[in-house]
Chain A
Amino acid sequence: MKILVPAKRVPDPNSTIKVKPDGSGIVTEGLKWVINPFDEIAIEEALRIKEKLGGGEVVLVGIGSKASSEQLRTGLAMGGDRAILVATDDALDSLAVARVLHKLVTDEKADLVLMGKQAIDADSNQAGQMLADLLGWPQATFASKVELAGDQKSAQVTREVDGGLEVLSLSLPAVVTADLRLNEPRYASLPGIMKARKKELKEIPLADLGVDTAPRLKVLKMEPPPKRQGGRKVESVQELVQVLHSEAKVI
């Protein structure tokens, strides 16, 4: 079973994000970069599936600047078998990302794509679903549990949806996007980090793929959000109820 896992380079979710004064983007000085947390969960799930099956291949894919290879190496250190970096400095929108992945998935003849449900920078939550449609594959998004059938021809996926949990049965090949509670990713071990250095990380220039990546969605400018006015502390429950009633008038 070949599992393809896209892994995006994003700012650490605990970073303080500031917008550049000219609104052209965020301030990147001093930012720590990590694997998109949801993609990390996807990598972990792929590794667990491979371990359970006792075989298979986990191929990581990065699309972005050469710096993205840092995150791919971390994924390889976790246990990924090899990685592909589609090198570009262009900002690709979700449709472009899906098209690039479509080409790679097809060339690689992957059986399953596991990826994060959204990247925590753009928060779009689109690429996985778009990829599934381009491939003509079924999708299961916001997965909190993935169970492969013994014959590896289908999977039962539990999804976190509004109002509860939904269970879907998908025929493979399929696209599954990972949600927070799918698993807790492992840390790369020291031996893992050493081994990762020798694993294949192939770099392909974006142009070589012959994919239409012209953006349909363009970010024109960025601004900080309106700052919420600071409130005040109350001394007691009685005071709280009093202000909520007569001042805020919400109860």
Chain B
Amino acid sequence: MGDVLVFAEHVKGKLPKTTLAAVEAGKQAASRTGGACHAVVLGKGIDALASETASFGVKKVFVVDGDALEHYVADVYTEVLADVMKQKGIDLLVATSTAIGKDLLPRVAARLGAGMASDVVHFNEDGTLTRPMYAGNVIATVKLEGSPRVVSVRATAFDAAKKEGAGEVEKLAISVDAAKAKAKFVAFNETKSDRPVLTEASIVVSGGRGLKNGENFTTYLEPLCEVLGAAMGASRAAVDAGFVPNDLQVGQTGKVVAPTLYIAVGISGAIQHLAGMKDSKTIVAVNKDPEAPIFQVADYGLVADLFKAVPELTEEVKKLKH
């Protein structure tokens, strides 16, 4: 009893850092319950991914492979996941709170009559869980009762699992009638970018309303990102104004990141934005308003006109690297 199942999300044939964080979280959870930590991979043509997953210290990797699972669709994946949970007598389901994790896990929870805790940052020794509430202004200790239980974890709260041993891969034959699905995948309009993925990068440069338009993100922030090897992020204001695409949004309801270095350019620092980045190791703020709230969380603050300071910063970093 007390077995944990980690839903291993894969993106473009790879296991992203966010999934490795879930595996690590699953292991932490299993250490509390005394059960085993398994993983499950769903998709089409995923043998290599399953083996890859098995190399991260999980006991077993359950694989369900089929045409119907090629594109993630909530009701189809819910059916399969609930089936695996029941078949294998799983006590706790864990996944990262990515867009898929958030969409899928509650549905599986309802299917199983299970309670769910979202965005968990720690599995405590006494069996309780820690999670943020009120845009991170409250850290709550919660308890999930009954069995099974479902937990989504915040990727930034767990280190990526390290390679460790070789788990057993077990293929499960679960038939899915995709034709019965009431939701159908139509298209995915991917944001094309040369930049690293926000949730994977160790340096993030974010722009806010102060950039004034989308072109300025390209003119001023791209070169800085380039020279730092950084991902680009944005405040909600910048996304709402159409400066940049939605998937760059950092914040309470956008992406939560905790890179080694976070540079906030022209961002005032609303509570909701801070909720998405205040766990970054080093925070730098560049803003012409000395009273901007962002300076309260910044380790280093530069009060300056970003249109002068950012190109200068890019130059200085280039010099440093040569």
* A binding-site residues for B, Cβ under 8 Å: 11, 13-14, 16-17, 19, 26, 38, 93-95, 98, 117-118, 120-134, 137-142, 144, 156, 159-171, 174, 179-181, 215-225, 228-234, 236-238, 240-241, 243-245, 248, 250-251
Contacts and interface: CB of A to CB of B under 8 A. Distances in A.
Interface string B288-312: 0010000111111111100001001
30 contacts: A14-B271, A17-B135, A19-B138, A26-B134, A95-B116, A129-B106, A129-B110, A132-B74, A132-B107, A133-B107, A133-B111, A138-B183, A139-B75, A160-B99, A166-B188, A167-B186, A167-B188, A168-B185, A170-B184, A174-B182, A215-B145, A218-B145, A220-B141, A220-B142, A222-B140, A225-B132, A228-B278, A237-B302, A243-B300, A244-B282
Task: Decide if the interface of chain A is mainly helix, strand, loop or mixed.
Answer: mixed
B281 interface: yes
Contacts of B107: 129-130, 132-133, 139
A240 B300 contact: yes
Interface stretch (B87-95, B171-179, B206-214, B313-321): B313-321
B109 A126 contact: yes
A142 B99 contact: yes
Which of A129, A225, A236: most chain B CB closer than 10 A?
Answer: A129
Interface string B98-126: 11101111111111011111110000000
Contacts of A142: 99, 102-103
Contacts of B135: 13, 17, 120, 123
Given A162-B199, A222-B139, A171 B182 contact: yes
A167 B300 contact: no
B301 A233 contact: yes
Contacts of B142: 217-220
Contacts of A181: 239-240, 246
B140 to A, nearest CB: 5
B31 interface: no
A110 B189 CA distance: 31
Nearest to B274: A228
Nearest to A117: B253
A125 B313 contact: no
Contacts of B138: 17, 19, 26, 222-225
A143 B278 CA distance: 27
Contact of A94 (B116, B181, B186, B197): B116
A11 B271 CA distance: 14
Nearest to A96: B115
Interface of B: 11, 73-75, 78, 97-100, 102-111, 113-119, 128, 132-146, 149, 181-191, 197, 199, 203, 228, 236, 239-240, 245-247, 252-253, 255, 260-261, 271-272, 278, 281-284, 290, 295-304, 309, 312-313, 316-317, 320
The 4 closest A-B pairs by CB, nearest first: A216-B115, A138-B183, A129-B106, A231-B299
Nearest to A124: B118
Contacts of B302: 233-234, 236-237, 240
A163 B296 CA distance: 30
Given A144-B246, A220-B140, A245-B320, 10 more contacts: A162-B100, A162-B199, A165-B188, A220-B141, A223-B139, A223-B140, A225-B136, A237-B316, A240-B302, A241-B316
Contacts of A26: 134, 138
A165 B228 CA distance: 27
B183 to A, nearest CB: 4
Q: Which of B98, B113, B140 has the most CB of A within 10 A?
A: B140
A169 B106 contact: no
A133 B78 contact: yes
B246 A118 contact: no
A176 B143 CA distance: 29
B288 to A, nearest CB: 13
B179 to A, nearest CB: 12
A231 B283 contact: yes
Nearest to B312: A237
Given A142-B99, A231-B283, A95 B240 contact: no
Contacts of B299: 229, 231-232, 248
B106 A130 contact: yes
A93 B149 CA distance: 14
A190 B145 CA distance: 47
Contacts of A220: 128, 140-143
Among A120, A142, A216, the one with the most B-chain Cβ atoms within 10 Å of its Cβ is A216
Contacts of B187: 166-167
Contact of A130 (B73, B110, B190): B110
B311 to A, nearest CB: 9
A151 B186 CA distance: 19
